[in-house]
Amino acid sequence: MTEERSAGSVGPVGPVAPPARAPLTKNARHSRVAALLAARSVRSQQELGLLLAAQGVHVTQATLSRDLGELGAYKVRTGDGGLAYALPDGTDRGSRPGTSGTAQLARRLEELLLSSEAAGSSVVLRTPPGGAHLLASSIDAAELPEVAGTIAGDDTVLLICRTVEERSGAEVAGPLSERLLASADGLIRGTPGAPTLHPVDEDRPLEN
C-alpha cells in the first residue's frame, strides 16, 4: 500500500502544521489592516476579519472595530455603487493618526452622523450602513463624561448616558444630542462661544 504524505508533514501521513501566526500586537494588526485596505476593496468587517485570518491574524469583531476606529477608517462609495473602507490620506501603516480623541470624534461625526435623537437617558445616533461601529469606537476613544457606554449595530449607535453633576441621564441626553449634531454640522470647531466636546476630566465628579 502506498503511503500518502501531506504538505507540511514529516514521515507517514500526519496532521498538517498550522500556518504561522502573526504577532497580535496593536501595531502589527494596524499594519496588516492598513495594507489590506490599501491593496483591495474591503466592504465589511467580516470580510476584513477573514483576510486577516488568512494571514494568521485572528481577532474578535470588537478588536477589529476598535482598530478601524483608531486608524480613522471610513467608508466610501465604490465604482459599482457599493461601500468600502478607506483610510485618511497620510495614514502610515501601523500608526495611529496624530489627532486627539475629541478631534477624531468631531471629524467622524461630520463624516458619519445622519441624525441624533435623545430617548430617555439614551441618545440614538444614525449612520450610513456599516458606519455605526466606527462612530461608536470614536465616541469611546473621546471619553465623553456624559457617556457611560455605547452599543453599536450596523447603522445605529445607542449612547447610554450617566448622571453628571446631579443631572440625571435623561437631563444629560438632550444637550448631548444637540452637541453631537452641532459637531456634525461643523459648528463646534473654531467657532467662538460654540459648545465643546469635552473629554473626561478626572477632577470632575461623576455619578453612575
119-165 pLDDT, tens digit each: 999 999 999 988 888 898 889 888 888 999 999 988 999 999 998 88
CB 101 within 8 A of CB 144: no
CATH 3.30.1360.40 fits 101-207, yes or no: yes
Q: How many CB atoms lie within 10 A of CB 130?
A: 18
C-alpha 67/C-alpha 104 separation (Å) is 14
Domain ranges of the chain: 26-86, 101-207
CATH topology of domain 26-86: Arc Repressor Mutant, subunit A (1.10.10)
CB 82 within 8 A of CB 98: no
What is the average pLDDT value for the chain, to the nearest integer?
Answer: 76
pLDDT tens readout for residues 27-83:
778 888 888 888 888 988 899 989 988 888 888 888 888 888 888 787 878 778 888
What pTM did the predictor assign? 0.52
- The residues facing 84 across adjacent strands are 76
C-alpha 14/C-alpha 5 separation (Å) is 8
Give me the sheet containing 115-119, strands edge to edge: 115-119, 122-126, 156-161, 147-152
Provide the pLDDT for residue 17. Answer: 47
> With 70 as the cut, is the pLDDT of residue 21 above it?
no
Write the DSSP symbol of residue 11.
S
pLDDT range class, residue 8, cuts 50, 70, 90 = very low
Provide the pLDDT for residue 197. Answer: 53
